[in-house]
Amino acid sequence: MSYLTGALWRRFTMSEQVHPIKVGLEIHRQFDTEHKLFCSCPTQLSEEPPENKFLRRLRPTQSELGQVDQAALFEFHRGKGIVYEADHKTSCLVEMDEEPPGRLNTEAIEVCLTAALLMNAKPVDEIHVMRKIVIDGSNTTGFQRTSVVALNGLLTIDGSTVPIDQISLEEDAARKTSQTREVTGYRIDRLGIPLIEVTTAPVLHSPSEVEKVALAIGNVLRATRKVKRGLGSVRQDLNISIPNGALIEIKGVQELELIGKAVQLEVDRQKSLLQIKDELKNRNVQSSTINRDYIDLTTLFQNTEARVFKEAILNNGVVLGMRLQHFGKLLGRELGAPGLRFGTELSGRASFWAGVGGIFHSDELPGYGITELEIEQVRKMLNLDGEDAFVLVADQYERAKDALGAVADRAVEALAGVPEETRNAMPDGSSRFLRPRPGAARMYPETDVPSAPITEQTIAELKSKLPETPEESIKRLTHQYSLNQKLSKQLMDSDYLALFERTAKASKNTQASFIATMLTETCKSLEREGFAVHEVSDEKIESIFQLVERGTIAKEAMLDLLKWQAKNPDSDPNDGINALGFQMLSETELEIIIDQHLEKNRKLVEEKGSGAFPSLMGSIMSEVRGKTDSKVVTEKLKKKLTKAA
């Protein structure tokens, strides 16, 4: 799949001697170990409501704060409260930061080392746990524990090699459950689940290449058979730069299928920003012409129908307006992805630095209840020229003022092209401003956890029992289960390899190729149709296969049962059989149905004899599909037709 189509790509490669884009990948994946990284809590998330909640305000010590970059410090000073939700099954005093962490989980170290060895990386002599400052509250401690386990790997993909810079073992953060302006809620069941981080060098040059490498790394991690699957278990970060652009970090691409698109959209975004830079230059805009003066427009909007403005004024807030000289028609300019405009970038900055919901700009008005007449008055009051743009914001005075300051800052940065920043991946592959890029010094040693030496002996032992590489697995699957190459490869790329092998080995009556097809092509197409099969546990899928194997339901019924299960992931498959009316027919019941059809079509049978088979088979199957095996129907019907003739 190539997102850079022919002409565009050629233009890139011909005009640039060096590679046009540079991408580095950071892949995070949860381990399915028995325990968390620093305590003996399980690595499962809770589905029950929390048993207790506690409020915290993070107070890092001064020495720690000294190393925090400006953005993190700012967030901290915003003084947000954080409510943590906990239960005794999935967390203990360690996650609550009321007890020091235990030693590094040996199983997690071994899985991490195994993955590292499969990627030909060199393990470190000793694992040192470090603290990485995180002040968004996703860690109760104010930092995330992380440790380098191996360096300088090399992965061979389709004949070419990709350097793996670093492989680390980390603790996962708490998961966000709610957010208001004052309080953020986090569930701490996820906090402490072991996470592997694989970082490639920034040597990938096209969206399709990035996607291929991400898939290959995913396969290596799965080869350990100790990683979790499903949404939320994998998070992919991208570092992307283009010539004359900037290094942009995109965080949290959850789906592999989105990676290529995310890269392409970021390239488009940076190119659009470079065009805007050129245009601003042509319009002779300089940082000195970007005036930070604003005007209070609250009186003007006293009787407005615009909901956001009305609410702000009701809450003793203000409406402020600012002129952006010579920025006319640029704020509405799309930056690659539909819905992502230059104005969206300004708005993101205003939200981050001032905590406002967003801004309104001239290119999107009239709209949001703001009328043509009001706009005319705004233009007059701000003394606007034809080529000018304006920005409005409604909130408490301090916030509104800070928001406009942030907008002006971002407007100045547009003169230089692309500002370096960390962005958040969106479900459509585009991204939004998350925060400025953090400074370098954000790590310091964790003194509560002793370092863990990696001995020659450990490595030798792990090397002697390395799991199959993905290539070896494909070969073996093809041979052992008589699958074709394509199906074996699809299994390898899916999350169901282990489930497939368990099921295929336990089956006598069900063909391995049927099981493989169901777990790959069928599951994929069901997902595309909107059935969340990934929500169904392996155990449930396995018992559906067992129902087929034992003849409780027909093979033909499996698809419908799987759809039902996806809609009712927590229910028992047997309930699905009842709900769908898939009770298997007894032989006698089937015989009676066949006889009824023969009787109804007596004329046809007398005229055509066994030639009546196709049409009879069709009408019988439409009645009994899912309740019996079509082979049995064929057999019985043929016998009866021969007898009748």
Write out the residues near Zn ion by the rule CB under 5 A: 39, 41, 92, 94-95
Reduced to 3 states (helix: H, G, I; strand: E, B; else coil), residue 360 is strand
Report in angstroms how near the CB of residue 37 gets to Zn ion at its nearest: 10
Spatial contact of 528 and 521, defined as CB atoms under 8 Å apart:
no
58-96 per-residue burial string, b: 16 or more CB within 10 A, e: under 16: bebeeeebebbbebbbebbeeebebbbbbeeebbbebbb
In 248-312 the beta strands, taken as DSSP E runs, fall at: 248-253, 294-296
The CB-of-169 to Zn ion minimum distance in angstroms stands at 17
User: Residue 482 is which amino acid?
Assistant: S
CB of 144 to Zn ion, least distance (A): 16
Looking at the DSSP bridge assignments, the partners of residue 625 are 628
Our CB check for Zn ion shows the closer of 189 and 493 to be 189
Q: Looking at beta carbons only, is 94 or 217 nearer to Zn ion?
A: 94
Beta bridge partners of 528: none
Give the shortest CB-52-to-Zn ion separation in angstroms. 14
Cβ-based nearer residue to Zn ion, 93 or 441: 93
When the beta carbons of 88 and 638 are compared against Zn ion, the nearer one is 88
Nearest distance from C-beta of residue 92 to Zn ion, angstroms? 3
In angstroms, the CA 88 to CA 626 distance is 44
Question: Least Å distance between CB 91 and Zn ion?
Answer: 5
Of 41 and 150, which CB lies nearer to Zn ion in the complex structure?
A: 41
Contacting residues for 200 by C-beta, under 8 A, at least 6 apart? 24, 25, 26, 162, 163, 164, 165, 213, 217
Supply the minimum distance, in Å, between the C-beta of residue 109 and Zn ion.
Answer: 18
C-alpha–C-alpha distance, residues 164 and 92, integer Å = 35
Residue 102: CB minimum distance to Zn ion, A? 9
CB of 19 to Zn ion, least distance (A): 45
Nearer to Zn ion, 129 or 389 (CB): 129
Task: Return the number of the residue (41 or 250) whose C-beta is nearest Zn ion.
Answer: 41
Residue type (1 letter), 159: G
In terms of DSSP bridges, do strands 81-86 and 389-395 run parallel, antiparallel, or are they unpaired? unpaired
| Among candidate residues 204, 195, 154, the one with its CA nearest the CA of residue 38 | 195
- How far apart are the two ends of the chain, measured CA to CA in Å? 57
Nearer to Zn ion, 188 or 221 (CB): 188
Q: Which is nearer to Zn ion, 41 or 259 (CB)?
A: 41
Pick 93 or 231: Cβ nearer Zn ion = 93
Q: Cβ distance 173 to 144 under 8 Å?
A: yes
Least distance CB 94 / Zn ion (angstroms): 4
Smallest distance from Zn ion to CB 101, Å: 9
What are the φ/ψ torsions at residue 579 (nearest 5 degrees)? -60, -35
Q: Which of 597, 523, 514, 575 is nearest to 549 (CA)?
A: 514
Query: To the nearest whole angstrom, how small is the minimum distance from the Cβ of residue 98 to Zn ion?
Result: 11
Angle CA 445–240–202, to nearest 5: 65
Closest CB to Zn ion among 145 and 222?
145
606: number of CA atoms within 13 Å, CB side? 5
Please tell me what DSSP assigns to residue 17: S
Question: Smallest distance, Å, CB 106 to Zn ion?
Answer: 16
Give the shortest CB-57-to-Zn ion separation in angstroms. Answer: 22
Handedness of CA 229, 235, 239, 242 (dihedral sign): positive
Identity of the residue, 90 or 503, whose beta carbon is nearer to Zn ion in the bound complex:
90
Task: Compute CA distances 336 → 257, 263, 341, whole Å.
Answer: 18, 11, 8
Buried b (16+ CB within 10 A) or exposed e, 457-487: ebeeebeeeebeebeebbeebbeebebeeeb
In this complex, which beta carbon is closest to Zn ion, that of residue 39 or of residue 113?
39
Beta strands in 205-281 (DSSP E): 234-241, 248-253
To Zn ion, the closest distance from the beta carbon of 634 in angstroms equals 58
Residue 4: C-alpha distances to residues 21, 206, 263, 303, 427 (Å): 11, 8, 10, 50, 20
Cis check for the bond before 366: say yes or no (omega within 30 of 0): yes
The tokens of 387 are what? 């080529």
Beta carbon nearer to Zn ion, 189 or 363: 189
Longest dimension (CA), the chain: 99
d(CA 233, CA 379): 50
Nearer to Zn ion, 41 or 273 (CB): 41
Please tell me whether residue 143 adopts helix, strand or coil conformation: strand
Identify which of residues 45 and 375 has a Cβ nearer to Zn ion in the complex. 45
In whole angstroms, the minimum distance from the beta carbon of 174 to Zn ion comes to 12
Q: How far is CA 313 from the centre of its chain?
A: 39
Provide CB contacts within 8 A for 283, sequence distance 6+: 326, 387
